[in-house]
Structures are given as C-alpha cells and as structure tokens.
A and B are shown apart, each in its own frame.
Chain A
C-alpha cells in the first residue's frame, strides 16, 4: 500500500491556482522530495495532505485512509514539521514535548521517559527546562522535529526542514532524517535546495506553478538530460598544465577526443574524470527555470 496517493489534487484561492491537478504516489518507507521554487505549491500540497486546508478538487489517500473522510485517523499516524518552528514560546522544551504527547494520547506513564529520550536523541537534554523562545534557531528546529515524533508516526511531513539553519545544524538535521528513513519512517519533504533533494530523496517530484513537471529517482531525472558523456582531463606538458572537458556520444568517444588532444599538444594525461549530469542540470532542463530561481528568494544554500 502506498503511503500517499493523490489524484488530480487541486487547490485554488479565488482565481489563483496554487496546486493544479497533481497526481502522484509516495511509496512506503521512501524519502520523497517535492522540489520547486517559492510559490510552486509545495506548502499548499503539504497543508492539503495533512488536513490543514481542504482541497478544492481531487482525491487523496494517506496511509490508506481517505483524506476527506478519515482525517482524524490520518492525523494519528502522521507527524508534521512545518516550515516555521511553531512550538509554544512560553513552555519549556520538555513541556512542549509532553503537551504534544497529551494531544496524541500517549499514555501518561510513558510521557516523561519519552520526552527525555527525544531530548537526548536531539542533543537537547541540557535545554530540558529552557523555554522554547530562548532556544537557538537550530535547537528550535530540532525540537519541532522531536515534537512531530512523540507519537512514533509512520509518515513524516517536513516542510523546508533546513531553511534558515546554519551549515552544522542543517547537516545534523539531515543526518536525523536519514536515520528516520533507516527506521522505516516514510518521509515526504519539500525543499528548494537541489543538493538536499539529491542527497536525501529516493524520488523527486519537480513542482512548478502548481504542476508536477517530472517525477523520478534522482538518477532517473539526471538520465533524462544525459545527452552523451563528458570527461574532464588534467593535462601536463612543457607549456604548463590545463584542465579540459571533452564531450562525446558516449564515454569512449569523449575519451578518444581527450587523448587525441593530449597527443596533438604533446601533453601527458595526469587524471581523467567522467562527469555526471547534476540534479541542477536536470532541474534546469526539465522545468525551464534556472537554479538561481530556487535560491534567490530564500538565501543561499546551507548544504555542507
């Protein structure tokens, strides 16, 4: 059974079409990334799938439950980390986790131990009694993720999980996401960081202006733009050294060109690298947008 199935899911706000008839499937246990620039409809999609806003049209099943009819049952088994870390400023780290457990019906006798376990796991045990408002941005993000895990969800939604985090915090959060995947949690994440999607996701959907323009594994997306092969060679000769790229129909053809050049110039080949197309190249080709569009509105990437 897929973790998520959508069919022509649509959301409009007046005349604005935020999400336009998107259909996709998220497999159980995978990390699925929805990649797109600001305003593409990523957050709206998450808001519909988690019941925060009602779809204008279309259907969706989450964990086998109908989104329109079984929302409370869906909510019991999903965890959500919104783009904004939104726990209660006045409550301590520990009390925020306990409150989340109270809402999800975690038995009273388990709450304290579970909260302490999560605080340890997210390296926040030293901040147990510190109000949420006084935590650093990275700690607030980590605690928000911890709060989404109090009831051991089977499906976790992460909306731009590393936006605004410094490199170290973002790296730590990604390591946590990978660990959760290892534990069998299905993860649906939205991001505008190409490298983040490339590093974390099993499959990526490219969302542009409310439409899914491509959906595949990272390798599958790259393969779509792979036209021929490129090799990079490092050459050394009497006149000095140089690094050059040679493009051919396949790797062998590209290599032949590189070696012919080296021979003609009387240079020695020091290293040869075959260059793979990046997700960025795939994104540009498949969406018609530039990678800068993804970064322009939210600042530079924090991918380390």
Chain B
C-alpha cells in the first residue's frame, strides 16, 4: 500500500506542476516580484541591501509555495476532479501529500532562483547556498501545508485567495521580513513566534548571513513541526468535507 501511496504522491505533484504551476505567468510573477522589491529598496535606501536578502528569499518561498496551493484543491473540489484522486488506490493523506509536494517543488524552484540571484548579486559565499536551500526546503513544506489548510477550509476559489492573503500579509509585517523582530512591541513578538514565517526567515538568515548551527537547527525543527501540524489539520478537515 505504501508503494501505491508513494507513486500517487509523485504523480499527483507532477500532474499539478504540469497543469497549474508551470504556466509562464506563475513563473514570471514569482521571480519578478522579489526583483521589483529589491530594486525599490535599492532606489529608496541605497546601501547594504544584504540584510534584506533573507527576508526577500523567504517571502518569495511563502508566496510561490502558497499562491497556487491555496487555490488548487478548492478548484479541483469545485470541478469534481479531486474525486478522481480520491477514487485512486491511495490514502487521503497521500493524495494531500501529493498536492503539498507540488507546492513545495514550485516554491523551492522559484525561491532557489532568487536565492542564487541574491547570493551572486550580494557577493555571498557560495557554500551558504547549501544550508539556505535546506532552510527553504523546510520553509516551503510548512508554507505549502498552510496553503493546503487554507484550500480545504473554504468552499470557493476567491475565498481561498482572500484567506491566504489575510494570513500572508500580516505575516510579512510580523515575521521579520522587512522589520527585525526585535523592533516590534513585545506582544507582536509573541504573536510572531506562533507563525512559521518567523522561523523560516531566521533559518535563511542564519544560512546566508550568520552561522548555521543549533539555532538554525531549532528553526528547522519548528518548521517541520508546523508542516506536520498544518498537514494533519488539512487532512482532518478534508476528510470531514468529503463525508
């Protein structure tokens, strides 16, 4: 049975990549968005933009991993196509994992392009790419699971987009993408600690600008925990919706 599940996860992710993710607008938007932000910051506050690199890379991962993920499941539930996957000889968690893997692969691919770009552009050491990639892997997993949760929690595609933005934009403000956590009021710092983007930014920051070590390992473990929690919640809600 686990073989059927693994095969299902792989082919569902592959199909989603072909059917939804690898469309020119998705790819170009995913890369142009952080590029435009870097340019805007460079013009407004010229100087050392390297401090922005972790936030920009992580924000790219957040948007690319959740943008389609938050829509795909809702869309397929509306068209009835999700039932096709449910009828296949795989378990519900495997079907959901295939969906999440699609978001991870796309988020990882887009954010890796931005990661390589900022590493080269800001003159960062090439060895930092490896730990940063690891941090992005765990980050996109948590973000994609978040997208899946949003997707199963609503009934309409527009509701998915609204709910996803309702979560993403406050996270960008709270989680240290542009403003360091230490500058936020204590209450907001506590709130930030309950959000996965905070740990993603910290992990990528440690990989790109700091010293990858135990603090980064802790961030990665928290991201893995978020992934498991969000995924489990999405699976339970989806099961209830289908019943």
Contacts and interface: CB of A to CB of B under 8 A. Distances in A.
A158 to B, nearest CB: 13
A48 to B, nearest CB: 10
A159 to B, nearest CB: 11
B183 interface: no
Interface string A81-114: 0101011111100010001101111000000000
Interface in B66-85: 79-81, 83-85
The interface residues of chain B, by DSSP majority, are classed as helix
A75 B83 CA distance: 13
B1 A52 contact: no
A100 B18 CA distance: 15
A51 B85 CA distance: 12
B79 A99 contact: no
A188 to B, nearest CB: 14
A53 B92 CA distance: 12
Interface of A: 50-54, 72-73, 75-76, 80, 82, 84, 86-91, 95, 99-100, 102-105, 147
B15 A88 contact: yes
Interface of B: 1, 3-4, 7-8, 11-12, 15, 18-20, 79-81, 83-91, 242-243
A82 B82 CA distance: 12
Nearest to A147: B84
Contacts of B242: 52-53
B81 A88 contact: yes
Given A75-B89, A80-B87, A90-B20, A105 B81 contact: no
Given A72-B91, A75-B89, A104-B88, A87 B81 contact: yes
A197 B237 CA distance: 38
A99 B11 contact: yes
B90 A103 contact: yes
A76 B4 CA distance: 10
B8 A103 contact: yes
B84 A100 contact: yes
A82 B15 contact: no
B87 A51 contact: yes
Contacts of B90: 72, 75, 103
B243 A75 contact: no
B1 to A, nearest CB: 5
B80 A99 contact: no
A76 B87 contact: no
Contacts of A147: 84
A54 B15 CA distance: 27
28 contacts: A51-B86, A54-B243, A72-B90, A75-B87, A76-B4, A80-B87, A82-B80, A82-B83, A86-B79, A86-B81, A87-B81, A88-B81, A88-B84, A89-B79, A90-B19, A90-B20, A95-B18, A99-B11, A99-B15, A102-B11, A102-B15, A103-B11, A103-B89, A104-B89, A105-B3, A105-B4, A105-B89, A147-B84
Contacts of A90: 18-20
Which of A50, A73, A102 is packed against the most chain B CB atoms within 10 Å?
A102
A180 B69 CA distance: 39
Given A82-B83, A84-B80, 6 more contacts: A52-B87, A86-B81, A103-B11, A103-B88, A103-B90, A105-B4
A46 B80 CA distance: 15
Which of B12, B15, B18, B20 is packed against the most chain A CB atoms within 10 Å?
B15
